[in-house]
Structures are given as C-alpha cells and as structure tokens.
Amino acid sequence: MTSLPHLPTPKKLGLVIDLDVCVGCHACVISCKEWNTGGYGAALSDQDPYGAEVSGTFLNRIHTFEIVPEGGEIVGEAGDARIVHFPKSCLHCEDAPCVTVCPTGASYKRAADGIVLVDEDKCIGCGLCAWACPYGAREMDLAAGVMKKCTLCVDRIYNETLREIDRVPSCVRTCPANARHYGDFADPQSNVSIMVAARGGIDLMPEQGTRPVNKYLPPRPRTRLSDMAGLPLPENSAGASGIIAWLAGMLDPN
C-alpha cells in the first residue's frame, strides 16, 4: 500500500470551479482529452468511436442537472428551477483514499505540491483506486490497461518552454466562460484562496473525509425580472440599450 506524504504539503495546487458561470459547453472536456492524449502518460483511448457501442477515457466530464431550490417551482411554471452544469475530475484530495488502497504504489500524492498522480509503469489495472474514490474520478483505459485520472496538467504547469499564460491546466486555459481557476490553496493571498473566501467555496461531499483540494463556488441566487422592473438598462455611447449595449461592448476592440 502507498503512504500519503506528511501533511500539509508546502503547496496545495488545485482548481476552483465556478458553478454560477459554467455554461456546459464541454470545451474543457475536449481540451483535456486532446492535451492528455498527446502529453503525459499513455494516450486516452476510444473504443468503437463511430459504432453502436462507443466508449472512451476522459479525465474531465460535465454532468448537467436540473435544480429546484427549496421552496421553488417546477419547470413549466413561474418558478426558480435552473440548469446547473457540474464539471467533475480528480479533486487531488489531501487524504486521498485512492492512494492508500493502491497495492503497487502506482497511485501517489506528490509531497512538493499535493498533486495526485498515477505511475503507469507500476499500475496493474486492478481498479482498487476507482473503487475507493467516492467521486468517480478514476477511469480504466482499455487500450493501455491502466487507470487514468486528472494530472492537473503537470506537464504544462512546470513547462518553462511555454508562455507563462499557458502554464495552467488545459481546461483552465480553454474555458470561455472563465469558470475554472488554478492556483495554490496553501497561499492565502492566491487567486483561488481569495475566491473561496469571498464566495464561500465548498468541498464536494465533505462527509467522506477526503478533504479535497479542489473547491466549487455555488451558484448565486438569480434576480427575477419582476424585481428589475423600473431599473434603467445599460446604455452605450451610441444610444443602444439593454442586450444590444452589452453586445456592442463585448465586440468593441477598445
């Protein structure tokens, strides 16, 4: 079995995911698949991609839920129901159960930065780590016969041949809605620590006791149109208002 490093690690690298702005476009999923198929470790394979029994390995997935807040209404009525897109990948837990159940030492947590990785040369594909992970963040690659998981793009974030702006996980660099953020949770002044403190970032399934590093920012309450009655709409210098003014501002290169 594999032991966890002495905690806390000097760095706790991870992600903040803002559920309020994620639009479920799957850009992060495709970017992750592309980067990790040509980068660290064995390629992420697909089986029968154009057939009737499609399957494949992904390190990041998006689940979409219809949420009815307590006291809200159902869809089709004048209610508060909303769609929430929920990105899911490895959370790089501080007390990672996938590490401690690994019989070969293939799963391990780095002492320097807290990233949980798989040494594919040691992995025998037994699946114990997938069984132990309460978040379903481990997947078997059928072509390689090894377990795969989010690496936090360790081959990007330390790659000094890349521009500094690109030294972040591929999913973060790609997200068009700015819903994903990367940083060091051990630094209280980092961007991710400040966001979590300001928005009340939460752990996924804290009752599991895994202490995930990655945090989720909960969706904000929506403002009803009836509550906005009488409020002035934004106006640009050309006299446009409302959504037209917003769109003009987004397209204005200045």
The CATH number assigned to the domain holding 146 equals: 3.30.70.20
pLDDT band at 3 (very low <50, low <70, confident <90, very high): confident
- Please indicate, yes or no, if residue 235 is contained in any of the structural domains: no
Query: Poorest-confidence range of 53-57, 68-72, 94-98, 177-181?
Result: 68-72
206-228 pLDDT tens trace: 999 999 999 999 988 766 555 55
75-108 pLDDT tens trace: 444 456 778 999 999 999 999 999 999 999 999 9
Calculate the CA 73 to chain-centre distance.
Answer: 29
pLDDT-above-70 percentage for the chain = 80
Secondary structure E strands in the chain: 13-18, 46-47, 55-56, 61-67, 82-88, 107-109, 116-118, 139-141, 146-148, 180-184, 215-217
Query: What whole-number distance in Å separates Cα of residue 33 and Cα of residue 150?
Result: 10
Kindly give the pairing relationship between strand 215-217 and strand 13-18: parallel
Q: In which domain, by residue range, is 129 found?
A: 13-225
- Please indicate, yes or no, if residue 145 is contained in any of the structural domains: yes
Question: What is the per-residue pLDDT for 114?
Answer: 95
- Please indicate, yes or no, if residue 230 is contained in any of the structural domains: no
CB 135: neighbour CB atoms within 10 A? 17
DSSP codes of every residue in 19-75: TTT-----HHHHHHHHHHHHSSSS---EESTTSSS-EE--S-EEEEEEE--TT---B
Higher pLDDT pick, 139 / 247: 139
For 41, how many CA atoms within 13 A lie in the half-sphere containing its CB?
29
Residue 31 · residue 67 · CB < 8 Å:
no
- Please indicate, yes or no, if residue 123 is contained in any of the structural domains: yes
Question: What is the per-residue pLDDT for 250?
Answer: 61
Three-class secondary structure of residue 210 per DSSP: coil
6-26 pLDDT tens trace: 778 899 999 999 999 999 999
This prediction's pTM? 0.82
- Please indicate, yes or no, if residue 231 is contained in any of the structural domains: no
Higher pLDDT pick, 234 / 112: 112
Burial class of 142 by CB neighbour count within 10 A (0 to 12, 13 to 18, 19+): middle
Question: What is the per-residue pLDDT for 78?
Answer: 47
Domain count across the chain: 1
pLDDT at 135 over 80: yes
- Please indicate, yes or no, if residue 150 is contained in any of the structural domains: yes
- Please indicate, yes or no, if residue 161 is contained in any of the structural domains: yes
Residue 53 · residue 42 · CB < 8 Å:
no
pLDDT band at 37 (very low <50, low <70, confident <90, very high): confident
Phi, psi of 34 (to 5 degrees): -65, -45
- Please indicate, yes or no, if residue 254 is contained in any of the structural domains: no
153-187 pLDDT tens trace: 999 999 999 999 999 999 999 999 999 999 999 99
